[in-house]
Structure 1
């Protein structure tokens, strides 16, 4: 169950990272409200996952999911450049997340 909570926390991290962009520096009300809510929920779920997962693994996986998800969203939805180097970097992060998950 802790891994599910951690995965959801990572997805919410993607949500708040994208929300920061959409809030235009917290000048748009509803994107700002949703961003802050996603931040709180993400941290809360991370905290729950840390009850049974090692902090070294959980934190790295959480930030990795956020980094991979945010980069993918930027390239696929926001039209950011999808260069070979950027895709390779995202793949390397994803491989690191997988290794950490396997390591436990």
Structure 2
């Protein structure tokens, strides 16, 4: 169950980062409220997952999911730069997250 909570927390990290991008430096009310609310939920789920997982692995997986997801979303939908090197490094993050999950099982 801890892994499920951690994965949900990581997916929520993607959502809050994108909401805060839309909040334009916290100058837009609803995107700011949504982003901060989702961030708090993500942190609470991370905290619950940490009751059963090592902090180093859990935090790395949480951040890795967020980094990979936000960067992929940005390239696909926000017209951010796409390059072979950027994709390579995102794949390496994905491999790292999967590897940490495999050894922590």
State the 1:69 CA deviation.
0.3
Two-structure CA RMSD over aligned residues (Å): 0.6
- 1:67 maps to 67
- Does residue 48 (structure 1) correspond to residue 48 (structure 2)? The answer is yes
Q: 1:17, 1:36 → 2: CA distance?
A: 9
What is the TM-score when the length of structure 2 is the normalising length? Answer: 0.97
- Does residue 79 (structure 1) correspond to residue 72 (structure 2)? The answer is no
- 1:21 maps to 21
Q: 1:46, 1:86 → 2: CA distance?
A: 27
- 2:6 maps to 6
- 1:58 maps to 58
Q: 2:17, 2:29 → 1: CA distance?
A: 16
Where in structure 2 are there 5+ consecutive unaligned residues? none
Q: 2:7, 2:77 → 1: CA distance?
A: 21
Q: 1:51, 1:21 → 2: CA distance?
A: 31
Deviations, residues 2-48 of structure 1 (Å, cap 9, x unaligned)? 11100000011111111121000000010000000011000000000
Deviations, residues 32-72 of structure 1 (Å, cap 9, x unaligned)? 00000011000000000001011111000000000000001
- 1:101 maps to 101
